[in-house]
Structure 1
Amino acid sequence: MSTTPQTSQTAAPTQNRRKKARAIMASGLVLGVGAAVTLAAWSDTAWGVSEFGTGDSAFNVQAYFSSTQGWDEFLTQDKAGTMQFGPASKALVPGVPVFQLVGLHEEKGKLGADITITQQSVPSNALTSKVAVSIAELGGGNSAPSNCSAAATNFKPAGTLAAPTTSTTRVEKNDYKWLCLRAELAPTAGLDSAGIAPAPVFWNFDAQSDDA
């Protein structure tokens, strides 16, 4: 009776342990590679900052109606500057015009302004449909011109007090624009227009700027 060699039986467990060891080492290598990839994934962040405001784009259009009032920058319908059109404006005579000088000024020096001019009679009376309005541009400069009268020849019709048409003008930044407003009772006005008490007419100078 022969005895089976023990060498092959002993070798089998040893080979299995080596396979397990190689498998564990291989697993360790995979983990090692994975860890290396994670460590090599650098990250960084950059930031930018900006500021927004309106402090450098101030906009203020002032109005001038007489030397006694001077330039006024806070005019509203509740605090309107007085437009006299001369003493004859409360005692109109057919065919005899009256005039009012108006100055406009953008005083911040930042933006120009497009200005829309409209009028509104409050309350309407029998004269408003018979008083024609026209407007002439007299130029710029910081001194009030003296030719707001019939001497100004470039008047453009602006409707009547009852049915005004829109007029526009422009004042450049830190500049002046002088206008002459003319109102005239129609030459055809009859006796039914006599003895009518004065009524206020509000003029709106609406300034807007689209300058960059």
Structure 2
Amino acid sequence: MSTTPQTSPTASPKQNRRKKTRAIMASGLVLGVGAAVTLAAWSDTAWGVSEFGTTGSDFNIQAHFNATEGWNEFVTKDKAGTMQFGPASKALVPGVPVYQLVGLHENKGKLGADVTIAQQSVASNALTSKVAVSIAELGGGSTPPSNCSAAATNFKPAGTLVAPTTSTTRVEKNDYKWLCFRAELAPTAGLDSAGIAPAPVFWNFDAQSDDA
């Protein structure tokens, strides 16, 4: 007759404590490795800053039409400078031209500009198709030249008051450009041109800079 050894259905308290101790130590090793990896992950960074604006690239064109008004902005039709063409401009005679000196000045000293010159009649009348306009460049310098007259040369046609053509000129940075405008009633103007009341004509000087 044999007997079978009997096994205790549960582990002893000492065995349970040893298992828990080993589990805690094992988890402690894992946590220790994780902590070591975190401490070894060094990092660094750098920053740069810049600024962008347009205050260093602005330009401004002023105009001069007569000594009384001097140099000014004249930025709208309501504030247009007076182009006088002399007293004879309101009493035109066929074949006898009248003249007007115009000055342009870039006063910021940073960029030059191309200036497009265009004219616009407020209302057409019997004269607008018979008054021819031409423009001559007289050079630079701050002093107004004295040869805006028949003595000026190199006049280029700019159309008539009713059918103007576009003209252009160049003003360098911090420089001046003087132009001589000539207006002349056609020598063929007849009696239908007599007694016409003066009417305003506007001139636009549109400056665009492409300097970089």
Contact 2:74 2:81 in 1 (8 A): no
Separation of aligned partners in 2, 1:64 and 1:200: 18
Query: Number of matched residues?
Result: 209
Counterpart in the other structure of 1:89: 89
Post-superposition Cα deviations, 1:70-94, rounded to whole Å, max 9, x if no partner, equal 2112442101111111111111111
Contact 1:133 1:158 in 2 (8 A): yes
Counterpart in the other structure of 1:69: 69
Separation of aligned partners in 2, 1:78 and 1:209: 25
User: Is residue 2:144 matched to residue 1:144?
Assistant: yes
- TM-score where L is the length of structure 1: 0.85
- TM-score where L is the length of structure 2: 0.85
Q: Secondary structure at the match of 2:37?
A: helix
Question: Structure 1 counterpart of 2:140, which letter?
Answer: G
Question: Structure 1 counterpart of 2:63, which letter?
Answer: A
- Which residues of 2 match residues 15-164 of structure 1 at below 5 A? 25-164=25-164
Counterpart in the other structure of 1:180: 180
Post-superposition Cα deviations, 1:184-204, rounded to whole Å, max 9, x if no partner, equal 111221111111100000111
Separation of aligned partners in 1, 2:108 and 2:48: 32
Post-superposition Cα deviations, 1:113-166, rounded to whole Å, max 9, x if no partner, equal 111100111122121111111111111111111111122221111111111111
Q: Which piece of structure 1 moves more, 186-195 or 23-32?
A: 23-32
Q: Secondary structure at the match of 1:49?
A: coil
Separation of aligned partners in 2, 1:29 and 1:210: 71
Post-superposition Cα deviations, 1:7-29, rounded to whole Å, max 9, x if no partner, equal x99xx989998777656544433
Q: Secondary structure at the match of 2:129?
A: helix
CA 1:4–1:20 in structure 2 vs 1: closer, same or farther (change >3 Å)? farther
Separation of aligned partners in 1, 2:164 and 2:17: 107
Question: Structure 2 counterpart of 1:59, which letter?
Answer: F
Question: Structure 2 counterpart of 1:161, which letter?
Answer: L
